[in-house]
Structure 1
Amino acid sequence: MENFKTVNPSDIQIGENLIELADIEANSGHLIKEEIVTSTVGSNKYVYTEGDVLFAKLRPYLRKVLIAPNDGVCTTELLPIKGINTNNNFLYYVFLSDLFFNQIKREMHGVNLPRVSPTKLGELIIPLPPLSEQSRIAAKIAQLFALLRKVETSTQQYAKLQTLLKSKVLDLAMRGKLVKQDPNDEPASVLLKKIKAEKQELIKEKKIKKTKPLPPITDDEKPFDIPDSWEWVRLGDVSLITTGNTPSKNNLIFYGGNLSFIKPADIQNMAINYDTDEFLSKEGEEKGRIAHKGDILITCIGNLGRNNVLNKKAAYNQQINNISPLILNSEILHFFMLSNFFISSMYRLASATTLPILNKSKLASMFVPLPPLNEQQRIIKQILKILRGISND
């Protein structure tokens, strides 16, 4: 490799090609944008010629490698490498390899932004086949990479199709179109009366506090038609909703506790991570918010609406609300709250800030359709059957 040539700012002409670190896409060798010098340059630049391999020498950007498409100058975060009797396409792939990457990591210096010096770069060891074989290797890698890109594109398209299909399944379920209605099922209006009676009993036993009744849902507010045996309800009418909190550090222990302390990142739509980095101590259980098996934890700050049903007791922080369904099946609420209808409704109700926030009161006011209890079971069974089929394809 030849010495790196720098050029003073006064010698750089307006109209020259200029490549900066931000212009190169990591891992792909793709030039995001081509620039030209349009005004006086304020620092030295490296000179490169068409075909040189431009290599980012800063640690966060080591995978930024580009074969120069023209002559020009580049910022000094990039090193133009001129191979001597080597195929530059071959060098490009070598510089992207783990063999090269691992060597560079050992030779980096600096604390805030580690980098490799041109001298150390020149001392690194690379395999060097005969020139004609370098060309064949580079051509084969390019062919395989092109095939991988096609596979990745197909995989992404398939993932999008899966998402659309899941969304359609949940939409059909919410509208009462996923399974047939059974006229022998006890209607949801009767279930709703039982839920109200259950809530009154909990108030009487002083297990919960009496709250102001939620306003009835008018016909104009109902977003779509549902079967006659169903009812539109507000989430707070059919469940108890509590916002989490974060106990003091004295009440938290790290790793190996019995009661997981759940944070938003631990909640995914098909799983909850109980193996967190924080747990509540025995003393902390008295001060933390505790959710139980069958409760639903839902994120209400930032990325709204991620939710899942707990399969064991856990604590949760203030960015999460806990929904405890009354009588009805937890999973039916879980699936309905994953629907595009419900998620989009959350964002519409959320506070208009950079970070969307939906408080407990607004969450309680949200609409959900309520099927008869027996039909809830049939809907859940059908959803799970379809989702398993989608995942196994």
Structure 2
Amino acid sequence: MVSVPRRSSRKINALFLINSFTFGGAENVIFQLAQHLDRQKYRVCVCAFRVKKKSVLEAYRRIGVRTFDLGMTALHRIPFGIKKLLNILREEEIHILYNFLTFPMLLGAVAGRIRHVPVILGSEHTTGTENRFRFMLKRFAARFIDEITACSETVRNYGIETIGYLEPKLTVIYNGVDCAKFGQTSVDTGQIKQYHITSGTYVIGSVGRLTALKGYIFLLHAFREVKKRHPNIKLLLVGDGEEKSELQRFCRQYKLESDVIFAGYQARVEPFFGMMNLFALPSFAEGFPVSLLEASAAGAPMIATDVGGSSEIVIHEETGLLIKTGDSDQLAQAIIRMIENPDQAAEFSRRAKKRVLEKFSLERMVQETEALFDRRIGLCSPQLKEEP
């Protein structure tokens, strides 16, 4: 059994477990926490079932965080991955195991109990994208988990009402954004030239994985309609994914190749927000989209579909506009409204920036996570409380 250290003796070992080393909402949250948790109190490492992007491993190396690849690249590799995880928990003397998303929650919770890890946590980030089988797996995993964090109130309510989590097990810790980093975005003249964006061009942008769930095909339909009324516009899509070829095919079909920019995956997205006059997120499902927080911090006016926790960031007619999912006509009208009412758009972005600074900062997310860690460690080991 792993003993919990006294604060005065040594650091608390925390392990984050995720599906893969790649780029996404939950993965970004883990990276931020690993980078900013107090190094005087915690020794953090990150473990994933497999590696999708080797550059993520390099990013962790640069910030001094150790990583472990379980090598679970196929079904027959799962037993070896579980054995490796059990060894890591024992050899690293893990005190806090923080599992993100369905299968890490399931395998991590069971492995953590086998190794008597003092604190086992889960994290819920999704709404409306899973089936009953996954709900069953999550409810089973929750039996072995001490507490589950939800990235928004919407996700918390979904976890209780739809998945079937017990209410006392859920705690809301909002995703956070580095407001200082995104608040200083400026136009990159080199990229402006690279993407052939001329003076006076109105740029509509979005950042995220190019998947069907993100609804980008509807953004393209809306863009095509808006362009009939406002020809001097461009669409900037930052991200990569399996829908890219389909989206490019649409652009070729309607002769939009020179007007739609596929910037691909970018390690640093801040400069791209500096190029945007408007940010649009047409998703069919979200937990608590970090890209909306980034757009808010960067001062970009926002349009988003009313899904998941998006409505906790974009307050309709106050910090931006909310629309229905899959409605390209409504999206087109919202874009036209933003273009033709720049003063109102600027007021939306001013209020959004103020809101993100007050409620959704990176500092707040880190502080609340540390408070959770300290509280759970304190519950399982009362002697950890500060001595006079």
TM-score normalised over the length of structure 1: 0.25
TM-score normalised over the length of structure 2: 0.25
Which of structures 1 and 2 has the larger relative contact order (alpha carbons within 8 angstroms, sep 6+)? 2
Bigger fraction of residues in helix: 2
Greater Cα radius of gyration, structure 1 or 2: 1
